[in-house]
Structure 1
Amino acid sequence: MTSRNWVKFFISTLLLGGLTTGIVGFIVRWSEFKPFFTDFNLVEIVAILFWLLGVGFIFSLLSQAGFFAYLTIHRFGLGIFKTAKLWNTVQLVLIAVVLFDLVYLRYEVFAEESESLLPYIGLALLVFIPGLVVAYFKSQQTNKTTFIPALFFMVVATVIEWIPILRANEQSWVYLMIFPLLVCNAYQLLMLPKYNEKSLKERESFERRMKGKSNKVKQKPSNA
């Protein structure tokens, strides 16, 4: 990817994270923010919006760091396990372990006496189902072999990025963070090939222009 397209990719993901957090923040924390809208306190509304955008930028940076870490780990995994089939099997096992831990460990730590397991399962499905959808579109965009790596990234990487809030177990923050992470992760996964393709075309165009200029210089008659 060219540096210019990398900057575009970075900024678009950053803005997407900020915008998503802004929207989700007003929804999940509406009970806190409603009085400012009722009184039409414009200063407070704008301050909250900028605060949510800032928080969203942080979530986006976490997402981008996780994405580029995954690209490295994916190459590393292919190198260790030699075949994509074996590496995909390992990824499926890790997906199952992460989802199980997301349900069981959180239930063991945070569940009150006689509390149902269903809300904890629902939270895992909140990650797993979008992961399946994104992985399906990724496989349609490229080929079927990308389904499991895409699902692995959408589930495992998202949960790892989500850990600081999961430990705090503050419900509004749990939902405030997960949606921007899912959106940013899905965007990066699906848009990276397009930015790479665009960079390749730009390089080819640049090389053609440079070759054309070089040929003109060679064909120019000497004044000597």
Structure 2
Amino acid sequence: MNLKNWIHLFWTTLVVGAAGSLIAGLLLQWTDTIDFNGTADVFVNVGILLGVGIMVSVYSQMGFFAYLMVNYMGTGVFSRRTWQYVQLVLTALSLLELMFFRIFVDGEKRGVSDIILGLVIFIIACATAYLKAKLTNVSALIPTLFFMIAVTIVETIGVLSIGVDQATVWITAPLIACNAYQILILHRVVKSSATSAASVSQ
């Protein structure tokens, strides 16, 4: 991945995060009673929503590049098939930890919310993995599931500790959107970089 393509990925992910936060924030506020004291309050509110989305997108990109490094090391240490099994096990454990383990081990009282969040992440991850496999090949199915489930859950640990459902939705919505966008666009970015490198070498 060259600098030009990375900058493109960076800025487009910022836009995805900002849009996701704005949409999620406005939907949450629409369900509550919020009084604005003028046009300035409306613009400040929109600015806060966009700003949070941008920060979440940067956080998502950090997790994405961390995943790329882990995936690179995993393929170097394990065989291809073994690494797939490892990813499946880690994916299942992370999903179980979110939906069930925290209730029984840590005494969390948000069982229903965690189960719903886990189901939402699982459904979106399956849809993203299916689309990724259609865009590339079937070998991308397990890595995409691993990233969209395991990595996303790890990234949401901070907001889950707050224990407020609205905050969880507000942060996880743009986070999932950014993660899905990055994993779906990755092959295009890599292909574009390879094409540019080939044209330069000719």
TM-based fold match above 0.5: yes
Report % sequence identity: 34
C-alpha spacing 1:180/1:200, structure 2 compared with 1 (3 Å): same
Residues 1:131 and 2:125 aligned together: yes
Amino acid at match of 2:177: V
Partner deviation per Cα, 1:62-106 (whole Å, 9 max, x = no partner):
11001000011011111222x111111111111111111101234
- Which of 184, 187, 195 is residue 193 of structure 1 equivalent to? 187
Gapped runs of 5+ residues in structure 2?
none
1: CA distance, partners of 2:33 / 2:26: 7
Matches within 5 A, 1:22-171: 22-31=22-31, 34-36=34-36, 41-81=38-78, 83-108=79-104, 109-111=107-109, 117-171=111-165
Distance 1:199 1:29 in 2: 41
Root-mean-square deviation over aligned CA pairs:
1.7
Highest CA radius of gyration, 1 or 2?
A: 1
Preserved CA contact (<8 Å) 1:26 1:33: no
Kept in 1: contact 2:132–2:140 (CA 8 A): yes
Q: Distance in 2 between matches of 1:198 and 1:105?
A: 42
Cα distance in 2 between the residues matched to 1:183 and 1:169: 21
Q: SS state of the match for residue 139, structure 1? A: helix
Change (3 A) 1:97 1:27: same
The separation in 1 between residues aligned to 2:102 and 2:51, in whole angstroms, is 28
- Of structures 1 and 2, the one scoring higher in RCO (CA 8 A, sep 6+) is 2
Deviation at 1:119, TM superposition (A): 3.8
Deviation at 1:30, TM superposition (A): 2.9
Paired AA for residue 180 in structure 1: P
Contact 2:113 2:165 in 1 (8 A): no
Aligned to 1:213: none
| TM-superposed deviation, 1:33 | 6.3
* TM-score of the aligned structures, taking structure 1 as reference length: 0.83
